[in-house]
């Protein structure tokens, strides 16, 4: 595709600048004499006057040609095998200049004697002496006849106000100007190379230092310097729909209002073309700046329903490489879909996972989050557990919460490895499960409303592991393994007046706690069946804990009705 961009298009469309803005020639090669001295820049600013045009990639020697009324040029040959390796190149200084653009003219020979020269060139730039060559634009310059092809194009803003910028015209393939193969000694010519720029000495360029979504209908944009009326132009703020913009009295903050955004959806605000408040109309932002917004003020019924914070055989404490089978289960306890984009799953003050913008959970959908998703998926025979970042869970106690983007709690649980929490979850096999998700945080964070899983999964460190990640409470596999191999029998349960407890061995301590952790019954050194009078206890849930002489602990939830 032929690249033809006119100078007028650059001035009026690309930059949108004032007609009065003056451009200087930074450097030019016009080859006025047709001699070797023409390799040095003809005109330019400061040190650019000593810059030279060069060739690279094994091309033949440069020679300077008189081309009649169209002016002089420089030429070289041996382009035949030079795809992406052979090129013209110039280097120059753009310090104190922006709004850069350049011109050049090229043609290739179509001689029957030396062959046809190359057809396709790309234009690339590099910053510094060891940067990366990057396309100025994706189009190529096509030389398809003996006529000169003139290119006028802008340089990226990264080239502005820079001590070393290089520009090269590189052949991209082995196709000749007439469509065949490039001739072995065919020539290619270039002339009228010029680089222009706008002098920015003393200019002030605004940047956005902070952009904040303050509500679903408002945002603030803070600039690095006071700006003029362009800071109140709605067209300079895109991505949030139709915007109304007003400037603060200090003129460094734009207050935006717009129609309500959708909870949980992601948006990108782009700010561009804002000028500082001096009389220099060219002192606008170097380039557009974009900011990602995601707000969710909703409080949907997303519930923490299962926690495995310690697997048998793992050590205590925090460890990023710790318990490979730890997981957290969330449940959409709703008959409707929930928009949860922006919601955060947290452990203490650390964010484990943030739901991407636009995430919608189906009614009654379960999600499983894990530090080691591979191990959790494999051991529990599930799919698609979601990786959480950061450290693993504490194996003693910890706050797990789900919050929205304005720090509103959706659900939270502070689990512990001591009563009244079921201590069987502390590395003795089962996970903690909330079999009947409530509708309030108070319900879900009450220890008595949590149980231990009874679905047998497998053995770890010679201990049976139970869990239901990704599903509701239930028993599968070895259904009654836990009860038939129990070291503690309690019956009847539920009960009203009397509870029989049959420990398996010497129980050095037996205690019963209410849901607040108060001890309502205690006895010591029991090795036979005992009866506990429960008639004076209030209706509700209680926790029975038995400690054996070998320091093993068994717990059971007791229901008094």
Cα–Cα distance measured from residue 290 to residue 345, given in angstroms and rounded to the nearest whole number: 26
Residue among 364, 299, 294 at smallest CA distance from 329: 364
pLDDT at 104 over 90: yes
DSSP three-state, residue 230? helix
Cα–Cα distance measured from residue 411 to residue 303, given in angstroms and rounded to the nearest whole number: 6
CB 166 within 8 A of CB 123: no
Which domain CATH number covers 236?
Answer: 2.60.40.1220
* pLDDT value at residue 315: 67
* 554 strand-pairing partners: 546
Residues 79 and 36 in one domain: yes
* pLDDT value at residue 70: 57
* pLDDT value at residue 318: 41
Residues 228 and 135 in one domain: no
**What is the pLDDT confidence band of residue 21, given thresholds at 50, 70 and 90?**
low
Asked whether residue 511 is assigned to any structural domain, the reply reads: yes
pLDDT at 276 over 90: no
DSSP three-state, residue 358? coil
pLDDT at 407 over 80: yes
Residues 370 and 512 in one domain: no
**What is the pLDDT confidence band of residue 306, given thresholds at 50, 70 and 90?**
very high
Question: Cβ–Cβ contacts within 10 Å for residue 249, how many?
Answer: 6
Higher pLDDT, 552 or 277: 277
Helix (H) or strand (E) holding 441: helix 441-444
Asked whether residue 2 is assigned to any structural domain, the reply reads: no
Residue 537 contacts by C-beta under 8 Å, 6 or more apart in sequence? 514, 520, 560
Asked whether residue 476 is assigned to any structural domain, the reply reads: yes
CB 254 within 8 A of CB 232: yes
CB 541 within 8 A of CB 512: no
CB 409 within 8 A of CB 330: no
Rounded to an integer, the average pLDDT of 508-523 is 83
Beta strands in 252-288 (DSSP E): 253-258, 266-271
Structural domain span for residue 194: 7-199
Cα–Cα distance measured from residue 416 to residue 421, given in angstroms and rounded to the nearest whole number: 6
**Token pair 């108070």 in the structure block, residue:** 442
**What is the pLDDT confidence band of residue 516, given thresholds at 50, 70 and 90?**
low
pLDDT digits (tens, 9 = 90+) for 161-178: 999 999 999 999 999 998
Asked whether residue 316 is assigned to any structural domain, the reply reads: yes
CB 149 within 8 A of CB 200: no
**What is the pLDDT confidence band of residue 22, given thresholds at 50, 70 and 90?**
low
- Span of 83-87, 149-153, 197-201, 346-350 with lowest mean pLDDT: 197-201
Which domain CATH number covers 560?
Answer: 2.60.40.1930
Q: Within 13 A of 108's CA, how many CA atoms are on the CB side?
A: 30
Domain count, the chain: 4
Q: Which domain-ending residue is among 177, 199, 221?
A: 199
Which domain CATH number covers 61?
Answer: 2.60.120.260
CB 410 within 8 A of CB 339: no
Predicted TM-score (pTM) of this structure: 0.57
Asked whether residue 1 is assigned to any structural domain, the reply reads: no
Residues 351 and 372 in one domain: yes
Residues 387 and 527 in one domain: no
**What is the pLDDT confidence band of residue 487, given thresholds at 50, 70 and 90?**
low
Higher pLDDT, 3 or 378: 378
Asked whether residue 532 is assigned to any structural domain, the reply reads: yes
* pLDDT value at residue 112: 66
Residue among 250, 96, 86 at smallest CA distance from 171: 86
CB 467 within 8 A of CB 476: no
Spatial strand order in the sheet of 530-533: 488-491, 498-503, 530-533
Write down the mean pLDDT value for the chain: 85
* pLDDT value at residue 140: 80
Q: Is the dihedral of CA 418, 421, 423, 428 positive or negative?
A: negative
* pLDDT value at residue 162: 92
Phi, psi of 66 (to 5 degrees): -90, 125
Rounded to an integer, the average pLDDT of 491-513 is 89
* pLDDT value at residue 424: 87
Q: Which domain-ending residue is among 451, 484, 517?
A: 484
pLDDT at 515 over 70: no
pLDDT digits (tens, 9 = 90+) for 364-406: 999 999 989 999 999 999 988 999 987 788 888 999 999 999 9
- Please report the DSSP string for 469-484 in residue order: TTS-S---SSTTHHHH
* 127 strand-pairing partners: 165
- Span of 101-105, 142-146, 295-299, 410-414 with lowest mean pLDDT: 142-146
560 token code pair: 């008094």
**What is the pLDDT confidence band of residue 324, given thresholds at 50, 70 and 90?**
confident
Q: Is the dihedral of CA 236, 241, 246, 248 positive or negative?
A: negative
Residues 464 and 522 in one domain: no
Torsion of CA 435, 436, 440, 446, to 10 degrees: -50
Q: What size, in residues, is the chain?
A: 561
* pLDDT value at residue 72: 84
Cα–Cα distance measured from residue 251 to residue 223, given in angstroms and rounded to the nearest whole number: 9
537 token code pair: 């206890």
CB 505 within 8 A of CB 365: no
Residues 215 and 312 in one domain: no
Residues 436 and 449 in one domain: yes
Torsion of CA 524, 530, 534, 536, to 10 degrees: -60
Rounded to an integer, the average pLDDT of 547-551 is 79
**What is the pLDDT confidence band of residue 19, given thresholds at 50, 70 and 90?**
very low
Q: Which domain-ending residue is among 272, 294, 316?
A: 294
Long-range contacts of 478-487 (CB under 8 A, 24+ apart): 481/456, 482/429, 482/430, 482/454, 482/456, 486/554, 487/548, 487/552, 487/554
Rounded to an integer, the average pLDDT of 274-288 is 73
Q: Give the Å distances, CA to CA, from 551 to 30, 460, 510, 557.
A: 93, 20, 12, 20
Residues 163 and 286 in one domain: no
**Token pair 């050194």 in the structure block, residue:** 525
Backbone Cα Rg of the chain:
37
Residues 178 and 251 in one domain: no
* pLDDT value at residue 212: 95
Residues 170 and 97 in one domain: yes
Residues 58 and 169 in one domain: yes
- Span of 234-243, 255-264, 278-287, 379-388 with lowest mean pLDDT: 278-287
Residue 142 contacts by C-beta under 8 Å, 6 or more apart in sequence? 1, 2, 119, 120, 149
| Farthest-apart Cα atoms in the chain, separation | 118
Which domain CATH number covers 312?
Answer: 2.60.40.1260
CB 234 within 8 A of CB 312: no
CB 257 within 8 A of CB 217: yes
**Token pair 């003996």 in the structure block, residue:** 146
DSSP three-state, residue 380? helix
* 212 strand-pairing partners: 220
* pLDDT value at residue 545: 81
Cα–Cα distance measured from residue 337 to residue 97, given in angstroms and rounded to the nearest whole number: 55
DSSP three-state, residue 226? coil
Peptide bond between residue 492 and the one before it cis (omega within 30 degrees of 0): yes
């Amino acid at each position: 595709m032929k690249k033809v961009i006119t100078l007028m298009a650059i001035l009026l469309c690309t930059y949108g600048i004032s007609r009065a803005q003056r451009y200087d020639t930074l450097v030019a090669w016009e080859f006025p004499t047709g001699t070797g001295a023409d390799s040095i820049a003809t005109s330019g600013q400061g040190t650019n006057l000593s810059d030279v045009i060069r060739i690279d990639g094994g091309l033949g020697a440069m020679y300077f040609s008189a081309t009649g009324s169209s002016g002089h040029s420089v030429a070289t040959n041996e382009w035949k095998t030079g795809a992406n390796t052979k090129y013209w190149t110039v280097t120059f200084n753009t310090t104190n200049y922006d709004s850069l653009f350049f011109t050049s003219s090229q043609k290739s020979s179509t001689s029957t004697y030396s062959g046809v020269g190359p057809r396709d060139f790309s234009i690339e730039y590099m910053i510094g002496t060891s940067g990366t060559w990057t396309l100025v634009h994706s189009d190529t310059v096509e030389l398809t006849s003996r006529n000169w092809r003139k290119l006028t194009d802008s340089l990226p803003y990264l080239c502005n106000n820079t001590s070393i910028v290089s520009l090269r015209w590189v052949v991209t393939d082995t196709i000749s100007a007439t469509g065949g193969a490039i001739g072995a000694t065919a020539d290619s010519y270039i002339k009228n190379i010029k680089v222009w720029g706008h002098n920015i000495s003393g200019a002030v360029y605004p940047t956005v230092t902070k952009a904040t979504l303050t509500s679903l209908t408002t945002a603030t944009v803070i600039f690095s310097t006071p700006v003029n009326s362009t800071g109140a132009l709605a067209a300079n703020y895109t991505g949030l729909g139709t915007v109304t913009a007003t400037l603060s009295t200090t003129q460094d903050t734009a207050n935006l209002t717009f129609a309500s955004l959708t909870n949980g959806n992601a948006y990108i605000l782009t700010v561009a073309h804002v000028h500082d408040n001096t009389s220099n109309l060219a002192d606008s932002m170097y380039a557009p700046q974009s900011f990602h917004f995601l707000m969710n003020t909703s409080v949907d019924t997303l519930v923490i329903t299962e926690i495995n914070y310690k697997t048998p055989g793992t050590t205590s404490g925090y460890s990023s490489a710790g318990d490979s089978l730890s997981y957290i289960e969330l449940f959409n306890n709703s008959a409707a879909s929930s928009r949860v984009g922006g919601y955060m799953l947290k452990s203490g003050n650390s964010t484990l996972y943030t739901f991407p913008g636009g995430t919608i959970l189906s009614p009654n959908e379960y999600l499983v989050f894990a530090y080691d998703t591979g191990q959790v998926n494999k051991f529990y025979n599930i799919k698609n557990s979601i990786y959480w970042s950061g450290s693993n869970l504490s194996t003693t106690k910890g706050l797990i919460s789900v919050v929205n983007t304005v720090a509103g709690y959706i659900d939270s649980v502070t689990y512990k490895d001591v009563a009244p929490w079921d201590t069987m979850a502390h590395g003795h096999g089962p996970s903690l499960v909330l079999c009947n998700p409530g509708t309030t945080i108070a319900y879900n964070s009450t220890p008595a409303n949590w149980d231990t899983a009874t679905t047998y999964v497998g053995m770890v460190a010679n201990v049976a592991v139970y869990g239901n990640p990704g599903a509701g409470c239930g028993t599968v596999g070895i259904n009654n393994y836990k009860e038939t191999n129990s070291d503690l029998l309690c019956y009847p349960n539920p009960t009203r007046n009397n509870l029989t407890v049959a420990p398996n061995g010497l129980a050095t301590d037996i205690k019963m706690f209410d849901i607040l952790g108060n001890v309502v019954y205690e006895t010591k050194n029991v090795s036979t069946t005992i009866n506990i009078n429960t008639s004076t206890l209030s209706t509700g849930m209680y926790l029975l804990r038995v400690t054996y002489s070998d320091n093993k602990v068994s717990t059971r939830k007791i229901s008094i009705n």
